[in-house]
Homo-oligomer: A and B are copies of this chain.
């Protein structure tokens, strides 16, 4: 799980603004896609080089430039120059280790959030950094790998239905953030299913691997929380921020995303409580099992030790043991032993051990 805490060591000592990609290289090459639209028209194309986005900079239409793959720092640097970005913004984009935040620069708004996904097979949680730059007329989004949660947004843009083409660039930003946060619910649902499975497993056949699973889940929830919690603050700042680039009428939509973020956080906290509960049940099920094991041992030992002792008595080789000579000795001993066993059993039944 420590893959989440990525190696920043190589960056230490460099000047601020030096671009070094921190994190795994998740894409083969950098892919640049542009969607440029206003209420009437929409143009969608894939750029070969970053220089091609130059003309969009000063166009009055809304332009959404999406970049998949952050490992090529040259591309990022060029974007920085083209759009005149602060070096620290560029640094944060390639450093995929950031916590979600919203920063208000002179000429742009910069948002970092995390995109989550679950491997379907193993249920492993993947966290990918998603950065968003809001410039006048241009939105630039940065993703670590190809494949995202924005396909429905693109579809809505293409169809031109609804509000999305009429409202401005800040509404697009909202839509993207909303898509990211909506996606958290899918991840949460998968985790919810894993908790349910865990609980069933706990009742059916708990074992050390159950503990491993609880432990694993607990840790994923820690990381999930770490990824979502600061986003709440960032979105709240966006909503209240009286930022020039965000229109009054978009604020109500941002409040909605904010609500969703709080719901996500609430659910994570609930899951944490639930997993803690599962751990408690697991631990006391261990104790219960131990109790059961000990009861079996105690019952067996308590019944057979006295009986074996009696058998031992009459196995002694003393010359003068009058009982040995009698004919009724053997059956009487049997009787005594059965009585002892019966008394013990009754005692255990009374104690509810049986």
**Which A residues have a C-beta under 8 Å from some C-beta of B?**
1-2, 5, 7-9, 11-17, 86, 88, 91, 97-99, 101, 103, 105, 149, 151-153, 156, 161-164, 175, 178-179, 182-183, 185-186, 188-189, 192-193, 195-196, 205, 208, 211-212, 215, 218-219, 222-223, 226, 252-253, 255-256, 259, 262-263, 266-267, 270, 273-274, 277, 279-291, 293-298, 300-302, 304-309, 311-321, 323-327, 329-330, 333, 352-353
- Contact assessment for A263 and B189 in the assembled complex, using a CB-CB cutoff below 8 Å: no
In addition to A5-B270, A211-B285, A311-B316, 18 A-B residue pairs with Cβ atoms within 8 Å of each other are A8-B182, A9-B185, A12-B149, A12-B185, A16-B178, A91-B256, A211-B288, A226-B270, A286-B291, A290-B291, A293-B294, A297-B301, A305-B308, A308-B308, A308-B312, A309-B311, A314-B318, A317-B317
Known: A255-B103, A287-B290. A333 touches B316 (CB 8 A): yes
Q: What are the nearest 6 A-B pairs in CB distance?
A: A13-B152, A311-B312, A314-B316, A297-B298, A304-B305, A315-B315
- Contact assessment for B298 and A293 in the assembled complex, using a CB-CB cutoff below 8 Å: yes
21 A-B residue pairings within 8 Å (CB atoms):
A11-B182, A13-B151, A15-B175, A16-B163, A16-B178, A16-B256, A88-B253, A99-B259, A215-B280, A215-B281, A226-B270, A284-B286, A286-B287, A287-B287, A289-B291, A290-B290, A304-B305, A304-B308, A315-B316, A316-B317, A318-B333
- Contact assessment for A300 and B293 in the assembled complex, using a CB-CB cutoff below 8 Å: no
A151, A152, A259, A304 interface centre (most CB from chain B within 10 Å)? A304
Chain B min CB distance to A276 (Å):
9
Residues of B within 8 A of A262 (CB): 99
- Contact assessment for A330 and B320 in the assembled complex, using a CB-CB cutoff below 8 Å: yes
Classify the secondary structure of A's interface with B: helix
- Contact assessment for B189 and A9 in the assembled complex, using a CB-CB cutoff below 8 Å: yes
Cα distance, A100 to B291, chains bound together (Å)? 45
- Contact assessment for A304 and B297 in the assembled complex, using a CB-CB cutoff below 8 Å: no
Residues of B within 8 A of A285 (CB): 208, 211
Cα distance, A188 to B14, chains bound together (Å)? 18
Residues of B within 8 A of A308 (CB): 304-305, 308-309, 312
Partner of A284, one of B149, B283, B304: B283
A12, A178, A263, A353 interface centre (most CB from chain B within 10 Å)? A12
Partner of A316, one of B86, B330, B352: B330
Partner of A294, one of B270, B274, B294: B294
- Contact assessment for B162 and A15 in the assembled complex, using a CB-CB cutoff below 8 Å: yes
